[in-house]
Chains A and B, each alone.
Chain A
Amino acid sequence: MENLVFILLSLLAVLGGLGTVSMRNPVHSVLCLLLTMLCLAGHYILLQAPFMAAVQIIVYAGAIIILFLFVIVLLNLRDDVLKRRTLPMGRLYYIPAGLAVMLVLTGLFRAGSNWISGGPAPEGTIEALGMELFTKWVYPFELTGVLLLAAMVGAVAMTRRDKEEG
């Protein structure tokens, strides 16, 4: 049963990912991304991390997808703009990406089933997560705050100058 759910979710997630990059209409792309995010939330539940699943839905499927949709809908791209959207040199990046995927796939097939030698998964309860986060992981956690502030300042700086120009 669990394996079946895992395979189903994974297939849907991969499909969503493929849809994200191949859809011509950006709104459809974002909806495909939403599918992937939701499937990942399902994976977290399978991994017994319900809080991570909730965060995945609230932050990723909620806030980030909304932000994307906001940008895309308000940008109001017309069909003629959508046609010429290839990035110069963009194709070059396929090479390392393809190599990486190949590498991982070969690794998975070569390694067989028992490639994880790490310890058991930590408890998925929220108290345990809070304990870990506020004792062991304080430093990366506070850096997250700096990261968010830097992103905010940068975004304001970039759009504000447009405002002054009219």
Chain B
Amino acid sequence: MSDASSLNLLSLLPEMLVALAGLLVILANAVGRDSADGAHRWISLLGVLSALWFTLNPLATGAAMSGTAVHDGLAMAGNTVILAVLLLLLLGGESYLKSRRIPLAEYHSLSLFAATGMMSLVSAGDLVTVFMGIEVLSISLYCMAALLNEEEGGREAALKYFLTGSFASGFLLFGMALVFGFTGTTNLDAIAHSLTSLDTDNWMLIGGALLMLIGFLFKVSVAPFHNWAPDVYDGSPAIVTAFMSTAAKAAAFTGLARVFVPALGEAADAWIPMLALCAALTMILGNFSALVQDSFKRMLAYSGVAHAGYLLLGILAASSDSAHMASVLFYLLPYALINGVLFLVGAAISRQRSGKNLLDDFKGLAADSPLLAILITVCLLALAGIPPTAGFVGKFYLFMGAVDAGHVGLACLGILTSVVSVYFYLRVIVYAWFHKAPAGSAPWTPLDGGLVLVTGLSALLLLVLGVWPNLWLSITATI
């Protein structure tokens, strides 16, 4: 059992590299001089880049660590999204970190540990690994949400996040215990296998599946379990919000897909009605709440809730035909990139004006910096799902999948609520291009070059993926 072949350590290389980078950051901080702040960034960058390389060019794949980890296409796509976000924040977030005096070593190591948790969740082969992954990523994110305390609300956000998060973990764990009680195993493959021979019309199994689903829906902020998201996203440092609303959500969605579609797929009748209901509620509540927000961060938070609803459509489609999993994975990358860019750039723009992340801060942006206005426009159009961006392609696949799986009503609801969402995305664009900056606002100072470059490249990638979706689809479809 303990021989090297069943461990298959090489397939875990990306996770190990990221974790090692986190450990090295701590070590460098503990033994190095205080002035060696740049080291944290370089270590993180090296770790993330090498992990990304070995994710896209794996030395080994398949089950690892006696089946507690599985490196398949799902893991590869999920890891890529997580590492891409991490890379974006590492390259573009330096000026934000410096300006808010966030402790660098702690920020970098915690984000690497959170990424370790996310990656092990994405490649989990066992319910125990799923839970450990979620806990590692959650604990790290709770602490990261509290890193900023010069502003009121930072600690409140962290506390709210912690309370809801641990509440959700309780549901998740209880559900896992019931599923374990019913099937006698925690291995995802073995669960799927045992369910083919067991009577799935059992209340223990259904209860377990639904409790786990509630836990996951909390983590991905799906209505009616989404109440925490706007407050937490609003109160946390923008760079942490950018991380948790993208990478953590992508990881939780991939984990959800992994647990429910292959493992509990036989019991789909139990959880599909609830998932469909939540998806409908999420799309309606998320989009209509976003309409009335004055704060850019809160608007994006509600738009994130709405997008969780769209992604649930993909999971629903995948439960009837697993080929549709590719559409969920496809959309995760543009979604993560857009939100990462918008939170980062939005914070930088707002700092020049009111500093409170208001929508009004975008007024007159085109006159001050046409480049940034174009960037914001591309990202918001992609979020609204307007061609030729990757957002359009992603939404198209999601809705088509829902239609294929017979959820025509939900797909229609998705399209209708997307139309509603165009209003609040367009409002920012109209502010940027056709409004004048409020009188008495300070003269514009150009943003940090690195930030503009890396976010610009991300926006370009959105356009490229919109025109040639196969670049990324070919990776996500290898499951």
A positions within 8 Å CB-CB of B: 87, 89, 92-93, 95-97, 100, 103-104, 106-108, 110-111, 115-119, 134-140, 143-144, 146-147, 149-151, 153-158, 160-161
Q: Judge if B10 is at the interface, Cβ distance under 8 Å.
A: no
In the docked arrangement, what's the CA distance between A107 and B205, Å? 9
| Proximity string of chain B (65-77) to chain A, C-beta cutoff 8 Å, 1 when within and 0 when not | 1111100000000
CA distance A151 to B137 in the complex (A): 11
B110 and A118 contacting across the interface, CB-CB below 8 Å: no
Return A144 CB to nearest CB of chain B, in Å.
Answer: 7
A135 to chain B, nearest CB (A): 5
CB proximity of A40 to chain B, nearest CB, Å: 13
22 contacts between A and B (CB under 8 A): A89-B227, A96-B214, A107-B206, A110-B203, A116-B184, A117-B183, A118-B180, A118-B182, A136-B1, A137-B66, A138-B68, A139-B12, A140-B129, A143-B117, A143-B120, A150-B143, A151-B139, A153-B26, A154-B139, A154-B140, A154-B146, A160-B103
Q: Is the CB of B106 within 8 A of A115?
A: no
B224: chain A residues at CB < 8 Å are 95-96
Residues in chain B near residue A151, CB distance under 8 A: 139, 143
Min CB gap A37→B, angstroms: 16
Residues of A within 8 A of B147 (CB): 157-158
Decide if B103 touches A161 in the complex (CB within 8 Å). yes
Closest A residue to B129 using CB positions: A140
Q: Given the complex, which residues of B lie within 8 Å of A92, measured CB to CB?
A: 227
**Pair B129/A118 contact, Cβ less than 8 Å:** no
Interface SS of chain A: helix, strand, loop or mixed? Answer: helix
Whether A117 pairs with B182 at a CB distance below 8 angstroms is yes
Bound complex: CA A60 to CA B109 (Å): 28
Q: Give CA–CA (A119, B135) in the complex, Å.
A: 28
**Which positions 124-151 of chain B face chain A at CB distance < 8 Å?**
126, 128-129, 132-133, 135-136, 139-140, 142-144, 146-147, 149
**A138 contacts across to B, CB distance below 8 A:** 7, 65-66, 68
B167 touches A144 (CB 8 A): no
Cβ–Cβ < 8 Å partners of B202 in chain A: 111, 115
Contact A143 B181 (CB under 8 A): no
Question: B66 contacts which of A93, A104, A136 (Cβ < 8 Å)?
Answer: A136
Contact A118 to B69, CB < 8 A, known contacts A89-B227, A140-B132, A143-B117: no
A27 to B469, CA, bound (A): 59
Whether A137 pairs with B68 at a CB distance below 8 angstroms is yes
Of B110, B142, B184, which one neighbours A117 at CB under 8 angstroms? B184
Across chains A and B, which 8 residue pairs bring their CB atoms closest together, nearest first?
A118-B184, A154-B143, A107-B203, A157-B106, A139-B65, A150-B113, A107-B207, A143-B132
Distance in Å: Cβ of B126 to nearest Cβ of chain A: 8
